Amino acid sequence: MLIVPAIDLKEGRCVRLWQGKKEKQTIYSEDPLAVARGWVEAGAQRLHVVDLDGAWQGRPRHLGLVEKMAREVDVPLELGGGIRDFSILNKIFEKGIDYAILGSCALSLTFMERACREFGSKIIASVDAREGHVVVEGWEKETPIQASHLAKDLARVGVSTIIFTDVTRDGTLKGVNAEAVRHFVKAASVDVIVSGGISSLEDVKKIAKLTNLGVTGMIIGKALYTGEIELEEAMKFLRGD
Q: Could you report the per-residue pLDDT of 86-110, keeping only the tens digit for each? A: 999 999 999 999 999 999 899 999 9
Whether 21 shows a pLDDT value over 70: the answer reads no
Whether 24 shows a pLDDT value over 90: the answer reads no
pLDDT for residue 116:
98
209: burial class by Cβ within 10 Å (0-12, 13-18, 19+)?
Answer: exposed
Q: DSSP letters of the chain? A: -EEEEEEEEETTEEEEEETTEEEEEEEEES-HHHHHHHHHHTT-S-EEEEEHHHHHHTS-S-HHHHHHHHHH-SS-EEEESS--SHHHHHHHHHTT--EEEESGGGG-HHHHHHHHHHHGGGEEEEEEEETTEEEETTTTEEEEEEHHHHHHHHHHTT--EEEEEETTTTTT-S---HHHHHHHHHHH-SEEEEES---SHHHHHHHHTTGGGTEEEEEE-HHHHHTSS-HHHHHHHHHT-
Which of 214, 198, 196, 204 lies closest to 234, judged by CA? 204
**Cα 14 from Cα 42, distance rounded (Å):** 17
CATH of the domain at 37: 3.20.20.70
**Cα 121 from Cα 87, distance rounded (Å):** 18
pLDDT for residue 125:
98
pLDDT for residue 240:
84
Mean pLDDT of the residues in the chain: 93
Residues marked active site are found at 8, 128
The residue segments making up the domain with residue 49 are: 2-239
Average pLDDT over residues 118-125: 98
Q: What percent of the chain has pLDDT over 90?
A: 79
Q: Is the pTM of this model over 0.85?
A: yes
**Cα 67 from Cα 164, distance rounded (Å):** 25
Q: Please write the tens of the pLDDT for every residue from 195-228.
A: 988 999 999 999 999 999 999 999 999 999 999 9
Domain count, the chain: 1
